[in-house]
Amino acid sequence: MITGSLKGLGKETAKELLNKQYHVVISGRDSLHGKAVEEELKAVGSVCFMPLDVSRTDSIEAFANDVLSTYGSVDVLVNNAGIFPDRAKAGTLDELSNELHEAFTTNSVGPMLLIEKFLPGMLAKGSGRIVNVSSGMGQLSHMGGGSPAYRISKVALNGVTRFYFATLRNTDVLINSVCPGWVKTDMGGKEAPRSLEKGASGIVWAATLPKGGPNGGFFRDGEALEF
């Protein structure tokens, strides 16, 4: 189950998991586009589109009901959907107040609400993989200036990883944050040095970790990063 998977890193992650024979639920806000991407990815493997806006609790509720009534539980949750609302906008925190709220709702709160929906099924089965697609820009140990909405919402997403890890450390439900690196997508821009394939590979790595794999960490290309 991958959020924001109709383009960019989410779609590439879907393709790679389909290549590994996973049944993949792709999701996004635009159902027409979602059905078209579902048709396209059917050439790769077993895929199903379900509508989801991660910034809306009613949408998360309806989506979780759809997924759980169809499949019972999910093996892998990839919290990929994200926004960078202050990418090209500087200002005081007062001027960026809308961007701060939007970023937290989409990048931090949505992932947490989705974990709340799908974690109980993983715990009941005794296994699961949760990947929170974060960013080096949310690294507390190397915090830079600018883009406070994006940066601090990704710090909070890393906090979500650590919060759940506290209760999961002795289980086979592995939750990790992943930075894909700076990748050529609509968000990353054309000047980004990394390909989609390279960026998605670290997400797929965390989504397919074997039993006993790392838990509660922050990774890029499968290598540990400081939070």
Which residues of this chain interact with ligand NAP, rule CB under 6 A?
3-4, 6-10, 28-30, 52-55, 80-83, 106, 133, 135, 179-180, 182-183, 185-188, 192
Nearer to ligand NAP, 75 or 102 (CB): 102
Residue 201 tokens, joined: 């590979």
Can you state the percent helix, strand and coil of the chain, rounding each to 5?
A: 45, 15, 40
What is d(CA 127, CA 69) in angstroms, rounded to the nearest whole number? 19
Annotation marks residue 150 as catalytic? yes
- Residue number, 9 or 156, with CB nearest to ligand NAP: 9
For residue 210, the 8-state DSSP code is: P
**Three-state secondary structure call for residue 65:** helix
Q: Identify the CA nearest to 118 among candidates 50, 186, 170, 180.
A: 50
> Minimal distance in Å, beta carbon 211 to ligand NAP?
26
For ligand NAP, the closer CB: 4 or 217: 4
| Catalytic annotation, pick one of 22, 71, 150, 164 | 150
How near is the Cβ of 30 to ligand NAP at its closest, in Å? 6
Distance (Å, whole) CA 130 – CA 202: 13
> Measured from the CB of residue 23, what is the shortest distance to ligand NAP in angstroms?
20
Residues known to be catalytic: 150
